[in-house]
Chains A and B, each alone.
With several copies, the nearest count.
Chain A
């Protein structure tokens, strides 16, 4: 199922915030429209301009799986910002 996504138009991505990021963003989730072909890194850069003091060491998960910054996003996906974890 790796048919190439169209490179034109826009995609909608839901972004989720947790813990310290949720408090800074003032909400648990927001939707973003992005140019088709945008990557995780592109979205992180955009978020960095909007959210004050986005802490260092934030990882990203796409549809509940950790994803590298060069992962291309697709319409309807969920991107979660994962600040440094402290479970256990």
Chain B
């Protein structure tokens, strides 16, 4: 019930780490002469978010779970859309504007499968990867970003904890 997701030959890499993301390495990892299309997605830190100037972003992860969850997301998306190979990585630690926080490379025989898989992976990452970011601003303040409540994969949403829910959005900037 708590065993890691079954390994899949389609997932050549799924990692959550403080290492900088190298786009060409990801592309090379999935490239194969049987495939006709590669789609790479990079999410990058923006200088501006909701009208505030961002100086840096700190990513915190539940590392052991995030790696397993990222592998599961990649495997499920690849199987759903028929992609052949995926390499996906998510950064932790401090990032500056312009740096990549997430990188997803997908290879497939045809482009439609590659695009659909890529999009699916990033949407699921935002929905359920146990990763959190805290923005630091030019005025010296910082704040954890408002996030997406996770609907438990194993059943219904865990929902607000009884009697303890703070006001909605209290952890916003």
Q: Which residues of A contact B (CB under 8 A)?
A: 16, 18-20, 22, 40-41, 44-45, 47-49, 51, 53-71, 77, 80, 82-88
Contacts and interface: CB of A to CB of B under 8 A. Distances in A.
Chain B, interface size: which category? 35 or more
Contacts of B145: 86
Contacts of B2: 62-65, 77
B62 A16 contact: yes
A87 B133 contact: yes
Q: Tell me whether chain B's interface is mostly helix, strand or loop, or mixed.
A: loop
Given A55-B166, A62-B2, A69 B158 contact: yes
Given A80-B62, A86-B131, A56 B166 contact: yes
Most buried by B among A16, A41, A59, A87: A87
B160 A56 contact: yes
Contacts of B51: none
A22 B171 CA distance: 13
B10 to A, nearest CB: 20
A61 B128 CA distance: 11
22 contacts: A20-B132, A41-B162, A45-B164, A47-B161, A51-B164, A53-B166, A59-B149, A61-B65, A66-B152, A66-B153, A67-B154, A67-B158, A82-B150, A83-B147, A84-B146, A84-B148, A84-B150, A86-B147, A87-B101, A87-B133, A88-B102, A88-B126
